[in-house]
Chains A and B, each alone.
Chain A
């Protein structure tokens, strides 16, 4: 295998693995802010226990996110040196801004969020939680701005020729607010909220299924569900506007997403299908002309098909199509789950419905698949460009790095990340098994609150849960 494909696999693998964690941190960050705000408002101890437990889950995901994140920052230089030289003038600033405005905030206040419960007052602690959540969100802002610039470059000009050519910034705000950045940022952040919400929903559902820590689980799940409802609803609007953005800014990508070949014909919206590139046809179940309607508001509006573009500028159609549709399937399933859970909650039956609790326990996989598939669709759909219409991926590599070097490091990352993933799942499982009232947390503070905590922990009964629901 040549350096190009190996370097691409390495980047895809390391960033995909990394991206298991940040959406959980960003999403849980928001959830933690809500939980701790409820604690400050209601002064109920239970919310403090809720916050503390989810902080532990947050800290675990954050640790792996940090460890795998450093790799990303170095990899542009190690594997994509020509890219770094070519666009560093534009692309470097968002990365530096991420460090100054996001990482310091996140990691600094994390110290108080995790270790500071007895060191600072409740308000200062709450502010720290807000700062950590803000830092996590800001880091996604700068990264998505940087990536969106690769999708829809703006605010630059090319200086020099041949080997010396490079992009230089002309308008910083045009770089930040490039045509796709705000749509894509909204889409990414809502995806992260869904991920965080479903982590909470899933673990809470597991407790309810096992009849453990029920009051804790119900209250946590309510917060998780509300965040999921809001994020899911907004995600439809955001997804629609992102789609329209792709239609306008990257028509090849849209055509690949929908497997639309005809040059200037109305396009169908596939539910699922298979692209037959040889015969330039897509087979599957589709809503006729629906894509035209979604993009242009008219079923007869033509959409540029894959045949209208030079072959060497087309992304791999099959994988773009499948990743994109996989994301949609997950969105569809998450919507169904949200509606069903909302309905059962409204009827007061959610907390005891075994089938639904089983589904909810497993549901955490959906936002993760959607995140991954969505990013793969976005990045594969940008090919063969590393920066759309500016620099080809094949021209962006490090000239001095050999295939063997990339292969060795790829194997190294493969083994290390496998180990990390196994350990992460093991520890997550341990944390969940230990539960929110684990021994480490039951020291002095726990004892002196015996009165209002004990009933939740020990004496809670089914009847009590049901009366709560009946209200």
Chain B
């Protein structure tokens, strides 16, 4: 395997880590306004409180890795989608601030405003991420220097919006299942209803997106036909999705959460398989950014691989320890939000 492929996979791993980890806390954000009263909302916030920031670092590191490994992708995508990225930055700022600021002042009005900011920004981040993925899937009209000028409206087509909504549904379901693990009693009973509803919402989106992708963006499925091994990913994906309602019925939220994480992993995997060896397919295939024409030198990819081999195991070790320390149901104490 060459270094370019390794880095395609590693950037994918970072972004998948982001989708699985920040995915649940974005989902909790999307569900936040359904919770009633300050105490319930505090339970929701505190279920993600100690970990959300670390989860977002997966995105930051993914961005850094993309810059270092595939500078042309970083440069082309970020400048081509300028307005969309500025909007994304705006909601990322508001989300971070609303989580941290909400609890720091005991006024109902103050808290209500931050609740809205937290929830709306969580929806928008998921939606924007989905719309961005949707645009990459269909391909973007890059010129021969890999440049492109767009406004937000150019990015919105029925297909990209459907990917966006599916992402929202996916994270809502993922977040609801996470909350089921982290809560107990009365609130858990209410969250169970959210899980049911968001599962239905997601499965509807999932089925329609799969069909529309097969019909209108057939190149995404081409490799599945060529290589049966890849078809296995699609199969595991379907099984993971089907397993979620089963585990919920059997009252095993942890297993349901694992299934939901496997689902995200497979979706990202299918996305990566469909793109490969492109990273950003252009409308004119000659202008596409691939893992070769967009990459840094072998020397840089090597150095970065050493970074990854040194850093990632350590990061995983202490991230898992921290999750372990915060295992179990949320209990509010004087340090809580």
Contact indicator A60/B100 (Cβ below 8 Å)? yes
A74 near B85 with CB under 8 A, answer yes
Q: Is the CB of A92 within 8 A of B105?
A: no
A109 touching B297, Cβ below 8 Å: no
Interface size on B, residues (CB 8 A): 67
A111 adjacent to B63 (CB under 8 Å) = no
Question: Are A70 and B60 in contact (CB-based, < 8 A)?
Answer: yes
**A109, B68: Cβ atoms under 8 Å?**
no
Contact: A400 with B68, CB < 8 Å?
Answer: no
Set B57, B100, B145: member contacting A59, Cβ < 8 A: B100
**B315 proximity list for chain A (CB < 8 A):** 100, 104-105, 108
A78 CA to B97 CA in the complex, in Å? 23
**Set B51, B59, B65, B100: member contacting A63, Cβ < 8 A:** B100
Q: List the B side residues contacting A168 at CB < 8 Å.
A: 296-297, 299-300
Measured between beta carbons, the chain B residues less than 8 angstroms from A398 are 75, 79, 82
Contact A78 B78 (CB under 8 A): yes
B309 → chain A closest CB, angstroms = 10
Are A170 and B51 in contact (CB-based, < 8 A)?
no
What are the residues of chain B within 8 A of A172 when measuring CB–CB?
Answer: 299, 303
Task: Give which listed residue, B63, B79, B319, contacts A108 with CB less than 8 A.
Answer: B319
C-alpha spacing A76/B105, complex, angstroms: 35
Q: Give residues 56-74 of B contacting A (CB, 8 Å).
A: 56-57, 59-65, 67-69, 71-72, 74
Q: In the bound complex, do residue A399 and residue B100 qualify as a contact, i.e. CB atoms below 8 Å apart?
A: no
Interface 1/0 per residue, B279-321 and A, CB below 8 Å: 0000000000000000011011001100110011001001100
Tell me if B336 counts as interface (CB < 8 A to partner A): yes
B interface: dominant SS = helix
Q: Which of A182-235 contact B (CB under 8 A)?
A: none
- Cβ of B54 within 8 Å of any chain A Cβ, yes or no, is yes
> Within B78-100, which residues are at the interface with A (CB < 8 Å)?
78-80, 82-83, 85-86, 88-90, 92-94, 96-97, 99-100
A430 close to B105 (CB less than 8 A): yes
Judge whether B104 and A77 touch: CB under 8 Å.
no
Check if B83 sits within 8 Å of A405, measured CB to CB: yes
Q: Which of B51, B90, B96, B318 is A66 in contact with, Cβ under 8 Å?
A: B96
Which residues of chain B have C-beta atoms less than 8 A from A180's C-beta? none
Which of B71, B300, B312: most chain A Cβ within 10 A?
B71
B69 neighbours in A (Cβ, 8 Å): 92, 96
Instruction: Identify the interface centre among A92, A118, A402, A405: most chain B CB within 10 Å of its CB.
Output: A92
Report if A115 contacts B (CB, 8 A).
yes
> Does chain B have a CB within 8 A of A272?
no
Write out the residue numbers on chain A whose beta carbons fall within 8 Å of the beta carbon of B322.
108-109, 111-112
Contacts of A420 in B (CB 8 A): 93, 97
In the assembled complex, B229 has its CB within 8 A of some CB on chain A: no
Most buried by A among B94, B300, B319: B300
A residues less than 8 Å from B54 (CB atoms): 104, 107-108, 110-111
Output the nearest chain A residue to B151 by Cβ-Cβ distance: A405
Interface residues on A, range: 35 or more
A168-B299, A427-B101, A427-B105 known; A71 and B93 CB under 8 Å?
yes
Q: How far is the CA of A95 from the CA of B296 in the complex (A)?
A: 14
- The residue of chain B having its C-beta at the shortest distance from the C-beta of A417 within the complex is B93
| Chain A residues in 8 Å Cβ range of B297 | 89, 159, 168-169
Kindly list chain B residues whose C-beta atoms are within 8 Å of the C-beta of A59. 100
Whether B137 sits at the interface, judged by CB under 8 Å, is no
Query: Which chain B residue has the least Cβ–Cβ distance from A92?
Result: B68
Q: Considering only CB atoms, which chain A residue lies closest to B46 in the complex?
A: A115
Among A90, A97, A105, A416, chain B packs the most CB atoms within 10 A around the CB of A97
The answer to whether B326 touches A440 (Cβ under 8 A) is no
Q: Within the complex, what minimum Cβ distance (angstroms) separates A443 from chain B?
A: 4
- How many Å lie between the Cα of A445 and that of B333 in the bound state? 11
Q: Are B92 and A67 in contact (CB under 8 A)?
A: yes
- 21 pairs, CB–CB < 8 Å, chain A vs chain B: A63-B99, A66-B56, A70-B60, A71-B93, A74-B63, A76-B74, A92-B71, A92-B300, A95-B67, A101-B307, A103-B60, A104-B61, A104-B315, A111-B50, A115-B50, A119-B325, A159-B297, A168-B299, A416-B93, A420-B97, A445-B334
Q: A residues within 8 Å of B by Cβ?
A: 59-60, 63-64, 66-71, 73-74, 76-79, 81-82, 84-85, 87-93, 95-101, 103-105, 107-112, 114-120, 131, 159, 163, 168-170, 172, 398-402, 405, 408-409, 412, 416, 420, 423, 426-427, 430-431, 440-443, 445
B interface residue numbers (CB < 8 A to A): 49-51, 53-54, 56-57, 59-65, 67-69, 71-72, 74-80, 82-83, 85-86, 88-90, 92-94, 96-97, 99-101, 104-105, 145, 147-149, 296-297, 299-300, 303-304, 307-308, 311-312, 315, 318-319, 322, 325-326, 333-336
